[in-house]
Structure 1
C-alpha cells in the first residue's frame, strides 16, 4: 500500500477524471444488475405467471420499497394486458430490457474514456519524472549501474505500473459494486439460494491466493532480466564496429540469447500462474451454478416456492457475479506484478542526488580573477586518484595537464564541472567554492570539449545550438568558422540543416570534433576545458582541429588535458602529473631544461 500511495500521488492532476470514472462505474454496476432484473416481468408474461395485483398499490415509505415495486409491476402488467393486449405489454417490457442494456454499455464506455485519460496521463507524468531523475543523477551512478537497466525502468517498469496499478479503479469500484448490487438483488429473490454463493467464495479466494504467492518475486526477477537484455543491446549497438571487426557477433548473440531465454522462461512461469486465475475462478463459479440449478429447480418444480421467471433471472444474476470475480482475481495478480515494478521505479525516484545545489547557493554569472585547486584528495574507490593536488589558473592563461594514463588528469575536469564532488580540499572560482555556487551557473561559465565527439541524431544546427538555444544562423556560421568547420559544412547537401545521423556517424572523426568545438565556441564561456580533444584523431585531422582549438582559446582561460604533447607546447604553464601528484610544472622550455619526467615523455613521443 505504501508503494501504491506514492505512485498515486502522480495522479493528483487527473483526479477529476478518476471521479468521473468512479461515477460511471457505479452506474455501470447498477445497470449491470438491473439488466437481469428487468427480464423478470417479461419472462413472467411469457410463462403466463399471474401476480394477482389488480389495484394500484400505495407507497408506504422506503422500508417497503421492494414490495411496492413488485406490486406496482404486477399491477402495470395486469392493467396493460387488459387495456392494450399482451402484445403491447410484451413490447414495452422488451423496450425496458433494451434500455437497461443501452444505459449499462453507455456507462461502461464513459467509464473507460475517463479511466484511459487518468491512466495515460499519470503514466506520462511518471515516465517524465523518471526521465528527469535519470538525467539529474550524477555520472557516478552510471559508472556503477547499467544504462540498459535504467531504460528498462523508464519504459517497461513504468508501463507495468501504468497497466497494473492505475487500472485498479475498475477493480476497486466497478467489479466489487457489481458483485454487491447483484448479491443484494439475489437475496431479494431468494435468501436460501444466495447462501450457496457465500459458501464457495472463501474457498475460491483461498485457492487463488495460494497460486499467486510467488508471483511478485518472479516478476521482480523478470524485470531485472529485462534490464540486462537492454544493456546487452545498448552495448552491442554502441560498439558495433568492434563487434564486427573482431568477428565477435556470436559472443554477443549468445549473451543476448541467454538473457532472452531467461526472460522467456520467467515470462512463461508468470503467465502460467496468471492464466490459472481465470479458469479456476470460472470452474468454481460453474460449480456454484450447478448446485443452484439443482436446488433452485427443486424450489420451482417441486416445492413451488419460486416462480420460473424469478429463477431464470436469479441464474443470470449468479452468472453475473462470475465476470467481476474473475476480474478481481486477475487484478490481484496484476497488483503483485505492478508492485514489483513500482519498487524498481520508486528506487530511482527516491534515490538521493548527491550532487545538488545548497539551499543558499550563489548565482555566479562572471569570471574575474582565477581558478584555484586547493589540496585535493579524491578517489573513485579504495585507491586515491589525486593526492594533495593544488594548482592556480589565472584568468586568460592556458594551463596544460600531462602525464601517463591513470595519473588523474581527466579527474580534474570531472571535478571542475562538478560531475563528481571534491571529497577533501576545495576548488574555487574567484575565491568562491564550487559547492557554494549554483550548478547551472558554474556550468554556464565552462565550455567542455571531450575526447569522445558526442553528437546527437539531429541537424548540425541543433547540435551546435545546445549551448545557446536562441542562437541565430549567422552566429552558428561564425562559430563554425572559428572551429575550422565551415568549409566542410558548407559543402554538405543542406548545410547546417544536414542531419548527421546517430552519434554523427555520417561524419569523419575530425569533422565531428570540430563540430564539438563549434558548440563550445558558440556557448562562449570564459573557461574552457579540453579533455584530450585531439587524442582520437589522425595526424591530418589533428592539424585542422588544433587550428580550431587555438582560435577558440584566444583571450580565454583554458585547462588543456593532453596526451599528445605537441598540442600543448604554447601553454602558459604545463603541469606534469604522476599517480595523482604534481611532479613538475613550468613552460615547455623550462621543463625540457629540467631533463626530468616531461623531457622523457617528449622523447618517447618523438620516437613514436
Structure 2
C-alpha cells in the first residue's frame, strides 16, 4: 500500500505549496476543534457551582507548568468576572468565546478543503495527461495484445477510482492524525491515568476493524478488471454493429454482455457489503470503548482524594468522543486506499511499461534521402513464426517499388518495419547507409507519408484533418494539397466547405472521399518517402480511378514503397516484388515479370479474369 501511495504522491509534488497550506489549515482546525470542547469545562463549573475560585493572579513558571498556569489564568479571570458582574456575565463571555472558536474552527476546515481542491484536481489532470502521453508513446505491438476497452477503463473508471479512493483520502491522512495528536495531548494533560487506560482499548478496536477489509483490495481488482472487459465488449459491439445485425447475432452478443454485467454485479455487491460494514462496526466498537472509559473515569472521579474534577471528566469524555471520528476516518481511509490500490496498480502497470522501440542517446536527425532505402537480409516475427525471412531489397531515391502477393505474405509488415512501428529481429534497414535504429523516430517518420487501406480520420473539420500532417499550414497550402488529391471539388460541395465536420471516423463521407482526404494529408506533409499500404483496395472503380490519379501525382519525384492488392494500379512501378510467406519470389518491371513463370503473371491473369 505504501508503495502505491508513494507513487501517487509523486503527482502531488508540483502542488506542494497547496499541500503545505492545507497542513497549516488542518493544524489550526485541529487546535480550535479541541479548544471548542475544552472551553465548555469552565462553563460546567459555573453552571454546577464547581468552578475553582482563584483570587491571586498566577505567575508563568515555564513550559512544564503550562497546564496549571492556563487553568489558573482562566479561573482567575472568571473569578473576577463573577465577583464584579455575576455568574451570568462569565457565562456570556464563555458563550461568545465559544462562538468565535467554532467560527475559526470551521473557517480553517474550509480553508484546508479549499487548498486541497487545487492539489486534487491538478493530480487527476496530471495522471490523465501522463496516461495519454504514455498510451501514444507505446509501440503498436501493445495494442495488438491489449483490448482497447481495457485501456479506456484504466484512463476513465480507474482514474476516477483513484481520485475518489486515494486522492480524496489525502485530506483525512493529514487532518486526522494531527487531530488525534492534539486531542491525545489534551487528554494526557487532563488525566494521564485515564488516557493510559484508553490506550489499552484503541489498538484492539483498530485490529478488529482492519480485519474486516482483508479481501477488499482483491475484490476491487476483480471489479476493475471486469470493467475493462465490459468496456472492451461495448467498444467491439459499437464497432461491429453492422455485422451483428446482419447475422442476427443480437441475442448471442446480448447474452455475453449480460454475463459480464452479472459478474460485475456480484463482485461489486461483495465489495459494497464489506465496505458498508466498516462504518457501523467501527461505530459500535467506538461506543463500547466510550462506555468502558465512562465507567473507569467515573470510578476515578468518585475515588477519595481524586484530582479529576467532574467538569474535567465531562470535558475529557467530550475529547475522547472527538477522537473516535478521526480514528473511524482513518479506518475508512484504510478501506478506501485498499479499494483504490487495485485501480492504481492498473494505472501504473501502463505508466511503468517500457517501450522497446526507443531512440539512442546519439540518434541522428535526417530530413531527406540522398541515395536509397535498403532492407539488408531482414527477418521478423510477431510471436513465434517468422513473418519475414531473409528479405533483401533496395529502393533507390525517386523510384517506386511495389510489393505484391497473397494475404499473409508479409507486405504490410514491411511497411510496419520501415516506419519502426516494429523493430526487425535480424538484419537491418538503412537509409543512405544509416541504420534506421540510429535515426530518431520523429526524424524518421517525419520523412515519410503514410496512406493506409483504412482511412484514419478524426471527428473534426476537413481542414483540420488535412492539416494534421503539418503545423501552421496555411489555407492555401491545404487547398493545394486537396486539389492534388482530387478532393477539392467534393470538399467545396460539402455544407461548410473546408470547415465541415466529417463525423466520427469520417462517417459522413464515402470511402473514396475519405481516402482522398488521407492522400491530401500526406501531400501537405510533402515527405521525401511515401508508404502506400493497399490504398485503393477497398474502393469502387470510379473512386479508385480518382484516388489512383491522386497517388500518381503525389508519387512524382518521391521514393515510394507501394503495397498493392490490385495489380492494375502498380504496372508503372520501377520495380515490382512478388512475395510469398515472407520471402521474395521474383522481382522486376511489369513487362519483365509478365515473361516469367514464377507467379506474378498468374496473379495478373486471375485478377483480369475476375
Both structures adopt the same fold (TM-score exceeding 0.5) = yes
Matches within 5 A, 1:117-266: 117-266=118-267
The alignment yields a C-alpha RMSD, in angstroms, of 1.7
Deviation at 1:257, TM superposition (A): 2.1
Q: Which residue is 2:321 aligned to? A: 319
Deviation at 1:276, TM superposition (A): 1.6
Could you tell me how far apart the structure 2 residues matched to 1:453 and 1:578 are?
Answer: 26
Alignment of 1:380 onto 2:365: no
Could you tell me how far apart the structure 1 residues matched to 2:290 and 2:11 are?
Answer: 42
SS in 2 for 1:594: coil
- What is the total number of aligned residue pairs between the two structures? 608
Query: Which of 589, 592, 603 is the equivalent residue of 1:590?
Result: 592
Could you tell me how far apart the structure 2 residues matched to 1:439 and 1:200 are?
Answer: 63
Give TM-score scaled by structure 1 length.
0.97
Deviation at 1:65, TM superposition (A): 1.1
Q: Which residue is 1:51 aligned to? A: 52
Could you tell me how far apart the structure 2 residues matched to 1:341 and 1:485 are?
Answer: 46
C-alpha contact (below 8 Å) 1:31/1:104 kept by paired residues: yes
C-alpha contact (below 8 Å) 1:232/1:252 kept by paired residues: no
Deviation at 1:202, TM superposition (A): 1.6
Deviation at 1:436, TM superposition (A): 0.7
SS in 1 for 2:167: coil
Matches within 5 A, 1:518-557: 518-557=520-559
Q: Which residue is 2:516 aligned to? A: 514
Q: Which residue is 1:471 aligned to? A: 473
C-alpha contact (below 8 Å) 1:200/1:284 kept by paired residues: no
Give TM-score scaled by structure 2 length.
0.96
SS in 1 for 2:427: strand
Matches within 5 A, 1:344-355: 344-355=346-357
SS in 1 for 2:595: helix
C-alpha contact (below 8 Å) 2:399/2:574 kept by paired residues: yes
Q: Which residue is 2:41 aligned to? A: 40
SS in 2 for 1:534: coil
Could you tell me how far apart the structure 1 residues matched to 2:281 and 2:101 are?
Answer: 31
Q: Which residue is 2:582 aligned to? A: 580
Q: Which residue is 1:26 aligned to? A: 27
C-alpha contact (below 8 Å) 2:165/2:340 kept by paired residues: yes
SS in 2 for 1:372: strand
Deviation at 1:441, TM superposition (A): 0.7
Deviation at 1:57, TM superposition (A): 1.4
Q: Which residue is 1:502 aligned to? A: 504
Unaligned runs of 5+ in 1: none
Could you tell me how far apart the structure 2 residues matched to 1:330 and 1:388 are?
Answer: 61
Alignment of 1:89 onto 2:76: no
Structure 1 residues 481 and 444, CA, compared in 2 at 3 Å: closer, same or farther?
same
1:551-595 alpha-carbon deviations (Å, 9 max, x no partner): 211222111101111111111111111111111111112111214
Could you tell me how far apart the structure 1 residues matched to 2:567 and 2:73 are?
Answer: 102
Could you tell me how far apart the structure 2 residues matched to 1:299 and 1:116 are?
Answer: 46
Could you tell me how far apart the structure 1 residues matched to 2:503 and 2:248 are?
Answer: 25
C-alpha contact (below 8 Å) 1:395/1:556 kept by paired residues: yes
Deviates more, 1:512-521 or 1:116-125: 116-125
Deviation at 1:254, TM superposition (A): 2.2
Alignment of 1:389 onto 2:387: no
Could you tell me how far apart the structure 1 residues matched to 2:197 and 2:285 are?
Answer: 12
Deviates more, 1:304-313 or 1:245-254: 304-313
C-alpha contact (below 8 Å) 2:43/2:94 kept by paired residues: yes
Unaligned runs of 5+ in 2: none
1:81-104 alpha-carbon deviations (Å, 9 max, x no partner): 121232322211101111111111
1:512-534 alpha-carbon deviations (Å, 9 max, x no partner): 01100100000110111110001
Deviation at 1:317, TM superposition (A): 1.2
Deviation at 1:545, TM superposition (A): 1.2
Could you tell me how far apart the structure 1 residues matched to 2:41 and 2:380 are?
Answer: 82
Could you tell me how far apart the structure 2 residues matched to 1:431 and 1:332 are?
Answer: 59
Deviates more, 1:309-318 or 1:32-41: 309-318
